[in-house]
Amino acid sequence: MTVQTAARPRLPGPLTAPGGTKSRERMRVSRWQIWVPLGLYLLFTLVPFYWMLVFAVRPRGSTSLLPWPITFDNFETVWNELGFAVFFRNSLMVGVASLVMTTVIALAGGYALARYDFRGKKAFMLGMLCTQFIPGAMMLIPLFEIFRTLGLVNSLWSLVIAETVFQLPLSLILISGFIRNVPVELEQAAWVDGCGRLRAFFAVVLPLLRPALVAVGSFAFIHSWNNFLFALMFVNEQEKFTVPVGLAYSLGEFSVDFGALAAGGVVAAVPVVLVFAVIQRYLVQGMSAGAVKG
Amino acid sequence: MAISTASTANHRMRRPRGAARTPYLLIAPAVIAMVGFLVYPMASVIYYSLQNYNVTKPWDNGFAGLDNFRRLLFEDPLFWQSLGFSVRWVGVEVGLQLVFGLILALIVNETFVGRGLSRALVFSPWAVSGVLTTGIWVLLYNPTTGVSRYLADLGLIEYGAAPLAHSGTVFWAAVLAELWRGVPFFAILLLADLQSIPRELYEAASVDGATRRQRFLNVTLPHLKDAIVLSTLLRCVWEFNNVDLLYTLTGGGPAHATTTLPLYVASKAAQSHDFGYGSALTTAAFLILTFFSIAYLRLSKFGAKS
């Protein structure tokens, strides 16, 4: 989980075999071999972001590719006139609600999988694996029928439920992998000290699960923030639109206002970019500790 | 301590009354949510696939046997066309994403100044949605706002290139946009696995005189095999099911040229009222995915120690 290759080669080498330095020389890669392909790839990654930013902030009629002079007219248009203020609030509410529901349910289920043996455990695991093959796009009709029966069409709760359900299996597996990595002896020590199982969990296990919770929670949030098809199908009133739906509508207009499109894109990107900036350091660790080995 | 030795073999140390029920209570919310909103709708799809169920022709409703599937196999050219496009789309996307993702993971696994920032930047499109990807690439492809216009200003190419408007270029235009946000997935997963390769293996190989290429082929690749198999499978399923990008970027056109099977089903769900036939399409796609996944895991000998 914490393999850090950076520190290794700096070890002083009295124990290194005579051939050691030479072989290490051969293992090193020249700077060119790193920076030429990396630079090209960075260009491919960053130019699209840059393009969006420039179009969002440059004044109407400008053809400059430099983000100067800056104007916030486009943002004002999308935020106030096109309704992105409302879409943003809706997306935020759905995202946070999905995050909380996914994390809490996955935590409970993950603890059961990691710490108990019970009949039906294998079937439960297999069932969760199978759900990964169910195409979300194709569940639109039956889910719509269910939400109509429950009176949840045009309610943001339909999105929260659908998001949570599709996020649960992977989150549960990820969290149970992390709980398995917490030594059970730590919990037992707390039981001996008179803690109940629940208190021991909150006092001992939960603090150690922080990276897992950050990973699962942010996956759920990003996924929900980005979801388009459910929001498009289950919600028809404009006051209930989410950001991706609003963005898709501004794309579908007959004559696209490119400045507004770019500004809407920036609005859609900011929350996920912020979340990503916080979690990206844990991302690789989280993958190796939870998903792959768990 | 006697208690801890007794419990190491078995995770349960003490059993308060009702303990047998605890795990079931803990998984109950997950089970209820998944049965109610995944298993039941899936079962209803399979049920309706065997029914005539058309809102506009209620007098025909009733048991249809395999009639919907017969129609799908023999009378619907769009089914075969969209399935064929799905295979091509998934194959090209996942293949290219894997190659570039692996190269990228190998590069950012090296030690160099600026590695942390480089990782963050090249991984960043991972968090971007399909609709936002469309928004960005529409800007880039448009003949008046896109890259081509500025290249034409420099006299490098002709004005008016519109990759999304022509059936010859629309496929690769869509592939490039999806590649932009798809490569980081492989890079992140494979980097995670690369970091778990013990450095001693490389050192031993070097001492034995192995070249860079030999080390890659004999140490890195075998170690990555399971991660590659798993990530490509997950990605195949994901790319197959993913409709956001194509729905918004090309709308499945021009003339159904970029319609995948799920996109076809989604458009059927939105437009037509023939639920029976739509359900048959969904069931067919689900079966195809499941059989493909099982066959893929079997053929690749996933989890087998080599």
Question: What is the model's pLDDT at position A273?
Answer: 87
Mutate one of A141, A242, A276 to test the B interface: name it (highest B CB count within 10 A).
A141
Q: How confident is the model at residue B55 (pLDDT cuts 50, 70, 90)?
A: low
Say yes or no for a CB contact (<8 Å) between B125 and A45: yes
- In 3D, which of B233, B236, B247, B115 has the Cα closest to residue B177? B247
Say yes or no for a CB contact (<8 Å) between B27 and A225: no
More confident residue, B296 or A100: A100
Question: What is the model's pLDDT at position B304?
Answer: 66
Distance from CA of B190 to the nearest CA of A (A): 9
What separation in angstroms does the CA of B139 have from each of A256, B31, B257? 10, 44, 22
Mutate one of A134, A193, A204 to test the B interface: name it (highest B CB count within 10 A).
A134
Distance from CA of A208 to the nearest CA of B (A): 18
CA distance A167 to A224: 9
Question: What is the model's pLDDT at position A38?
Answer: 92
- DSSP bridge pairs for A152: none
3-state secondary structure of B150: helix
Domain boundaries, chain B: 77-299
**CATH code assigned to B77-299:** 1.10.3720.10
Q: What is the ipTM of this complex?
A: 0.83
3-state secondary structure of B51: strand
Residue of chain B nearest A259, judged by CA positions:
B139
Each residue's pLDDT tens digit, B126-184: 889 999 999 999 889 888 888 888 888 887 777 777 888 787 888 999 999 999 999 99
3-state helix, strand, coil in chain A (%, to 5): 75, 0, 25
3-state secondary structure of B63: strand
Mean pLDDT (chain B) is 82
Long-range contacts of A114-119 (CB under 8 A, 24+ apart): A114/A176, A114/A177, A114/A179, A114/A180, A115/A179, A115/A184, A115/B11, A116/B11, A116/B12, A116/B22, A116/B23, A116/B26, A117/B11, A118/B20, A118/B23, A118/B24
Residues of A in contact with B189 (CB under 8 A): 287, 291-292
3-state secondary structure of B274: strand
Distance from CA of A82 to the nearest CA of B (A): 16
Residues of B in contact with A20 (CB under 8 A): 203
Say yes or no for a CB contact (<8 Å) between A138 and B286: yes
Task: Report the amino acid identity of residue A106.
Answer: A
Q: What's chain B's length in residues?
A: 306
Q: Are B27 and A124 spatial neighbours (Cβ–Cβ below 8 Å)?
A: yes
Q: Are B217 and B102 spatial neighbours (Cβ–Cβ below 8 Å)?
A: no
Mean pLDDT for B7-33 is 69
Each residue's pLDDT tens digit, A70-122: 888 888 888 988 888 999 999 999 999 999 999 999 999 999 988 888 888 88
Say yes or no for a CB contact (<8 Å) between A248 and B248: yes
Per CATH, the homologous superfamily of domain A83-245+270-292 is: MetI-like (1.10.3720.10)
Structural tokens at position B252? 């499945």
**B207 burial class (0-12, 13-18, 19+ CB within 10 angstroms)?**
middle
pLDDT along chain A (294 residues), means of 10: 39 42 56 88 93 87 78 86 90 94 94 88 84 76 87 90 90 87 84 83 86 86 90 87 89 75 90 85 64 39
Q: Which one of B38, B126, B244 has the shortest CB-CB distance to A134?
A: B38
